[in-house]
Structure 1
Amino acid sequence: MTKAIYRREHVIFLQELKRMRDESGMTQVQCSTALGRPQSFMSDVERGVRRLDMVQLRDLCQVLGSDLVSFTKSFEHALSHENEQV
């Protein structure tokens, strides 16, 4: 099995994270600050340099005014939409 970071699904995951942050109206700096992390944190996450565990993803969703279930549904929807276009 190919490592997740090299799969198309990972690219879509990162796109969904960025979309969620953009829709929240928060900058990367604001988001990182709200999480108690350095300024570069969100940049590294969105570029795929830093990976999130489930707890960190949940914290991020809450900071962005969402929840883990909603993010997962959005991610799955984006994946199915991607598969329809192929």
Structure 2
Amino acid sequence: MSKSVFTERYNRFRQLLIKARQASKLTQAELSTKLSRPQSYVSKYERGERRLDLIEFLEIVEALQVEPETFIKKLLEEKEEN
């Protein structure tokens, strides 16, 4: 089994996070400030250089004001479409 960071599902996960940030009209720097993290933190997970754990994911969607259930449902729906 390959590392999930290199799977198509993880790539869709990253793309949805990027779209959610952009829909919130936040730059990486602005989001990183809300998360009390360096800008490189956001950049690395968006590029797939860093994997997120569940707690980090929840912190990010909270900062983006996105319901985690809605985000996950969208991720699952996109899987079914492919």
TM-score between both structures, scaled by the size of structure 1: 0.88
CA distance in 2, matches of 1:6, 1:14: 11
Question: For residue 62 of structure 1, what is the aligned residue in structure 2?
Answer: 62
Question: For residue 6 of structure 1, what is the aligned residue in structure 2?
Answer: 6
Q: Which sits farther off after the overlay, 2-11 or 53-62?
A: 2-11
Q: Give the 5 Å matches for 1:21-60.
A: 21-60=21-60
Structure 2 spans left out of the alignment, 5+ residues: none
Rg larger for = 1
Q: Give the 5 Å matches for 1:70-85.
A: 70-81=70-81, 83=82
Structure 1 spans left out of the alignment, 5+ residues: none
Fraction of identical pairs, as percent: 34
Aligned pairs, number: 82
TM-score between both structures, scaled by the size of structure 2: 0.92
